[in-house]
Amino acid sequence: MFHDPGAIVAIVVVCTMGWLINNWIRAKHGYALEDEWGGKTERKDTAETLRLKTENKALHDKVDAMQDRLVVLEKIVTDRGYSLAAEIEALRDDNGAPIGLAQTTKKERV
């Protein structure tokens, strides 16, 4: 079987095609390429990838800042003082004065 030179050539061609397809897929998806000895060759960043990395970093920083602000807002809203102020506002009468003040002014008019 392996005495035929055609079989050996076919095996070499199949292995070479597999290696080429493997490197093509790796290059397409941004992975490091393999040389014939199994070593890796890292891709160099282009101007576009450097711009995207910079933009990505800026967006991550902005999201982190917004998460910090959200934590502060959640603390304010869940604070008992905030809900107490909302309850006081709900108890105001039509004139906008607290109920206790509205009652004392009514007593003074009588």
Domain ranges of the chain: 1-43
The helices-and-strands tally (H runs, E runs) of the chain is 4, 2
Question: What is residue 15's predicted lDDT score, i.e. its pLDDT?
Answer: 92
Exposure string of 10-31, with b = 16+ CB inside 10 Å and e = fewer, is eeeeeeeeeeeeebeebeeeee
Distance CA 105, CA 96 (A): 13
Distance CA 1, CA 90 (A): 93
Of the listed ranges 14-28, 59-73, 95-109, the one predicted with least confidence? 95-109
Query: Is the pLDDT reported for residue 78 higher than 70?
Result: yes
Query: Is the pLDDT reported for residue 103 higher than 60?
Result: no
Q: What is the mean pLDDT of residues 71-86?
A: 78
Tens of pLDDT, residue by residue over 30-58, are: 777 776 666 676 667 778 888 999 999 99
